[in-house]
Structure 1
Amino acid sequence: MIDELIATAEKRGYRVRWHIEGPKAAWIPDRRAITLRHGMDDAQTLCSLAHELGHAHYNDPPGHYGAHELRADRFAAKLLINPDDYRIIEHTYGPHPARLAHELGVTVKVLKTWQTLHKKELAS
């Protein structure tokens, strides 16, 4: 899935690069580049890339602005979690966030963001 997301980023004209130390990931608009910290686990890498793709999609400026961060979190959640997959996994494993996130291959933060977006659907 990471390779597919990198390919998607590159098709959209964004360069994906790796860095050592520092933040998990960053969107660098003037270079049209996303950098990812080497050494993260697969879920962190995937979710960080999806989050930064959200910043790229909305052409956010550099920096951490609350509204932009929330929008990028929501972009990542929608991109990475399929509602049908979620329903099957929740039915199989129960409502435990850490287990659901693990089975979906995402971080708990992305899972909880997705759940918040779909709260009404989940209640029915």
Structure 2
Amino acid sequence: MFVPEYDPAYDPLEHLDQMKIHHVRHTLNGHNAIWVPERRMVISDRNLRSELLRPTLAHECDHAVNDDCAGHHPRNESRANLHSAFRLIYPPLWDSMTALHSDYDQICLEIGITRRQFRAYYDHHRRLAAARERRERLGDTVYENPKMGAGQWTRKFEVA
């Protein structure tokens, strides 16, 4: 599976044009945008705030890239949130913003992403960190990052 990378010049409207997908602004009730695969069209809400247009269209572009079916399948939505976050978030900026701020809405506004994209990216980083730092308890000892074989661990803790 293709995983996109950050591109400072990424423009979802240009991306839609390259894929020959028509973009229409229309009044939608309850959705920011929708992907209509039968017509190769993305419809975005005309009342959508300007700071949400780019991340919303990036999300819909991912549906188009992966040729998702119509509707909101949770797996497709999760992947589109994560992949659009990969395209929009500059990793060093993410690290500095999350280290400085605890107001996640402020981070979303400054980076230019939606809350769902924030959540997907945050959860992805948390899963990576958890995979790197695995702990296992055997009896009264906890081993950090255990491997197969005697003495193959990063740290060892004695617990009571």
The amino acid of 2:121's aligned partner reads W
Q: Any unmatched runs of 5+ in structure 1? A: none
Length-normalised TM-score, structure 2: 0.67
The equivalent residue for 1:19 is 26
The reply on whether 1:99 has 2:106 as its aligned counterpart is yes
CA shift, 1:89, in A, is: 2.5
Query: Is structure 2 residue 61 aligned with structure 1 residue 53?
Result: yes
In 2, Cα distance between equivalents of 1:12 and 1:88: 34
In angstroms, what is the RMSD of aligned CA positions? Answer: 2.4
Shift in Å, 1:94: 2.1
Letter paired with 2:119: K
Contact 1:77-1:111 at 8 Å conserved across structures: yes
Larger radius of gyration: 2
Shift of 1:100: 1.0
The DSSP-based 3-state class of the residue aligned with 2:11 is: helix
What is the CA deviation profile of residues 2-47 of structure 1, one whole-angstrom value per residue up to 9, with x for unaligned ones?
Answer: x922012111221111111322111111211111001211232222
Distance in 2 between residues matched to 1:102 and 1:54, nearest whole Å: 21
Aligned to 1:72: 80
> Which secondary structure does the structure 2 equivalent of 1:54 belong to?
helix
Is there any run of 5+ residues in structure 2 with no aligned partner, and where?
1-7, 134-160
Task: Return the offset for 1:61.
Answer: 0.8
TM-score, reference length from structure 1: 0.84
Residue-pair matches, total:
122
* Aligned-residue identity in percent: 21
Specify which structure has the higher proportion of helix.
1
